[in-house]
Chain A
Amino acid sequence: MYAAIWRVLPGPRWLKATQALLLVLAVVAVLFLWVFPAIAPHLPIDQQTVE
């Protein structure tokens, strides 16, 4: 899977590494800004009200 991504990325090794780093940062940003905030309220962790 990750080997396939590495092969698909164009350019010499340093360019591949740069693109891979950008991809990782993009994935982390999407997770932090949209995915985690959306799922966290539905998880049975971190509750502070009585109900």
Chain B
Amino acid sequence: MSAPVARPEAARRPSGPSAASRVVGVVGELLITLGVLLGLFVVWQLWWTDVEAGQTQQQLSATLDETLPPSPDTVAPAGTGEAPVALEPLTGTTFARLWVPRWDDGDTPFARTITEGVDRATVLDPLGIGHYPGTAMPGQVGNFALAGHRQSHGKPFYAVDKLEPGDALVVETADAWYVYRVTTSEIVPPTDVDVIAPNPSDPGADPTVATITLTTCHPLFSTRERYVVHGELESWVPRDAGRPAELAGEG
């Protein structure tokens, strides 16, 4: 830009800009401030929440390990008979861990804690994956339904669209390792609560098998729909015996 040229009226009034141009100046600054705030919010949402969630997840995971009985780091055969079913814990209790070999990042296994409740402010945002209260517990006949962020806040379900039928979803609790297999995926409107019904394939009927359901938002950068993945319990391994073969060699 060239050097500023003093305008005649400004030269006549050395007291400064007129009241009108001051108002315009302040409004302009407020608009710029608003733009910067919105930009900062996006940075916070897409970057900072992941940083915080990563730290929280490490602490949560360490705390959960202290409460879980030891499990030998060897592959054990599946248990026989009915899978053990724990009582549903109090809201806010971190009681399990979800392992998804499909989502492993190189040598780093995907393992995130599961906490009771799906309230955003107290569970899904700070603590990660949440268990819909009132739905089945791991191994129980019924629907073990989970919700998680697909973006921001650690984005546990980021790669939900990469899951294929047959992929293992392993749930670790104080009692056992439960191996579920992905059966179907679907995209539904947010009001479709039938996907977490006890029997998601026939919402009106009583459940006959133990299923797992993951819900998260869809598409990316939107909340218009929900991405839903269903799975069915295949086997379980008692915790004191070892691990399921699906997790052989994982952290």
Contacts and interface: CB of A to CB of B under 8 A. Distances in A.
A46 B149 contact: yes
A51 B125 contact: no
A2 interface: yes
A2 B28 CA distance: 11
Interface residues of B, number: 38
Given A1-B29, A32-B48, A40-B45, A48 B125 contact: no
A28 B190 contact: no
Interface in A7-51: 28, 31-32, 36-37, 40-41, 44-51
Interface residues of A, number: 17
Interface string B1-43: 0000000000000000000000001100110000001001100
B193 interface: yes
Contacts of A47: 120, 190, 217, 223
Contact of B226 (A32, A40, A44, A48): A48
Given A49-B118, A50-B192, 7 more contacts: A2-B29, A32-B44, A44-B223, A47-B120, A48-B148, A48-B149, A49-B132
- Which 4 residue pairs spanning A and B have beta carbons closest together? A41-B121, A41-B120, A48-B216, A49-B147
6 contacts: A1-B30, A28-B40, A31-B40, A40-B45, A47-B190, A50-B226
